[in-house]
Amino acid sequence: METISTGYKPRAPQKEIHRAVKENRWMVAVCHRRMGKTVCAINQLIHSALNNEKQSPQYAYIAPTYSQAKRIAWDYLKEYTRPLGGIPNVSELRVDFMGRRISLYGADNPDALRGIYLDGTVIDEYGDVNPQLFTEVIRPALSDRLGWAMFIGTPKGANHFKEIRDFADTEENEGWALKEFKASETKLIAEAELLDAKKAMGDNKYEQEFEISFDSPIVGSYYGELMKDITDKNHVRELPTDSATSKMCAWDLGMSDSTSIWVAETIGGEIRLMDYYENNGQSLSHYIEWLDEKGYRDYTQILPHDVMVKELQTGKSRFEFLSDAGLNIDVAPKSSVEDGIQAVRRMLPNCWFNKDTTRQGVECLRNYRRVFNEKLNVFQEKPLHDWSSHCADAFRYLALGLDTATIQRTNWAKPYETTYDGESYKQQYL
């Protein structure tokens, strides 16, 4: 039998990854920059496809965006499948070879992944991907053929990539493997080059990019330092609801994409984020039903200023629709995005987050960041529109809807609850 070489020659860290994928269904690889993780990922997909004896094997490489998938992985996929008779389809970013198929996708279009089956997948830069993509879309696609998944990336703060890394590092979680590669240990980059990079990048960025540290806030994040401070001060914890608080819901209303809702309670100077909800492709009636189910209908509903715009299809504004449904609406003042971000920054030190119900929202706030101009190698003064945007916008409307300048300051060491003994209200720190 003729042996066909693809030209791929894995280095020691790449061999470790391949071995871990072979022995485990779920695999997490935390890699330093320039380690060759994308080449490794593409070749893992090719190798798995070639050794799959099922009918019409199908695999996927998923980057944070479709454009990233094309820019980073498309040339590699064509190069390493060419000796195998690969037939590229550039319009669909896929290559067919020997009755097998590997496709490239962007996590920014999860609908493209719905309804397909997968024998295996790589999610690249998992920290930049909406964590719901795996649980809601990818995991079901792997079920009927018992496919595998590899999560790879470089740290970007203590986000969901850190969570899945920690999960994989737990011995009780069978079928999971963790591989970590620091530049100082792999020796793939010359020591002199690493020293020069450290001087140019600064300690925090260097430790994140080359020594795979999760401790540094996400580079370019608007709220990274503040969210880290909130976590360090134990402001993300189980919180009780309090009858004496003012209660409100802050919305970001999506037309053709996601709608996000933050549920907050305020008392004194404390702002308690009690719940977070996000969905897409749903009518306003769906969100009203959610308010009813959760007991939030009577809360003040803070909505963005464009809620007053009439829709062409109905001739009614969303303000009119929600008002007719009996909701108590307060429209956030019109403001620039920059002013809204500053309002959030002023508000965040006074915020507490209910750990279990706001997990997704907290991840979004950590990840909300500036657009990065790769050509100029600088961050621009405008937000990146990605999976975290709608959540951050709703939080911004909450900040604008509250008079943060006049909030009474309290002891922020821990939250307090208010009780009523039949005669008077009493405040007790938890």
pLDDT for position 406: 38
pLDDT of residue 255: 66
CATH 3.60.10.10 fits 224-429, yes or no: no
When pLDDT is cut at 50, 70 and 90, the band that residue 2 belongs to is low
Answer whether residue 233 shows pLDDT above 90.
yes
The whole-model pTM stands at: 0.73
Question: pLDDT tens, 143-185?
Answer: 999 999 999 999 988 788 999 999 999 988 899 999 999 999 9
Q: Would you call 171 helix, strand, or coil by DSSP?
A: coil
Q: Where are the domains of the chain?
A: 12-209, 224-429
What gap in Å lies between CA 425 and CA 417, rounded to an integer?
Answer: 10
Please report, as a single letter, which amino acid is at residue 38: T
- With a pLDDT cut of 70, the percent of the chain lying above it is 91
77 to 30, 104, 128, 129: CA distances (angstroms): 22, 9, 22, 21
Please report the pLDDT score of residue 42 as a whole number: 98
pLDDT for the residue numbered 383: 93
Question: What's the confidence (pLDDT) of residue 376?
Answer: 73
Mean predicted confidence (pLDDT) in 239-261: 88
Using left for φ > 0, alpha for ψ between -120 and 50, and beta otherwise, residue 44 falls in: alpha
Beta-carbon neighbour count of residue 117 at 10 Å?
15
Q: Domain 12-209's class?
A: alpha beta
Q: What is the pLDDT of residues 253-290, one digit of tens each?
A: 986 668 999 999 998 889 999 999 999 888 899 999 99
- Maximum Cα–Cα distance across the chain: 90
Q: In sequence order, which residues have a C-beta less than 8 Å from that of residue 298 and are 6 or more positions away?
A: 247, 328
20-29, 286-295, 369-378, 383-392: which has the minimum mean pLDDT? Answer: 369-378
Instruction: At 379, list the tokens.
Output: 């961050």
For all residues of the chain together, what is the average pLDDT?
89
Mean pLDDT of 47-64: 96
Encode burial over 279-290: b for 16+ CB neighbours within 10 A, e otherwise: eeeeeeeebbeb
> Helix crossing, 224-232 with 359-367: angle to 10°?
140
Q: pLDDT-derived band of residue 364, with 50, 70 and 90 as boundaries? A: very high
Same fold flag, 12-209 and 224-429: no
CA 124 – CA 167 distance, rounded (Å)? 18
Instruction: Evaluate if residue 428 carries a pLDDT over 50.
Output: no
pLDDT digits (tens, 9 = 90+) for 407-418: 433 333 344 444
pLDDT digits (tens, 9 = 90+) for 205-219: 899 999 999 887 777
Percent above pLDDT 90 for the chain? 70
Q: Is the pLDDT of residue 14 over 60?
A: yes
pLDDT at 425 > cutoff 60: no
Q: Read off the pLDDT of each residue in 97-112 and give the average, rounded to a whole number.
A: 95
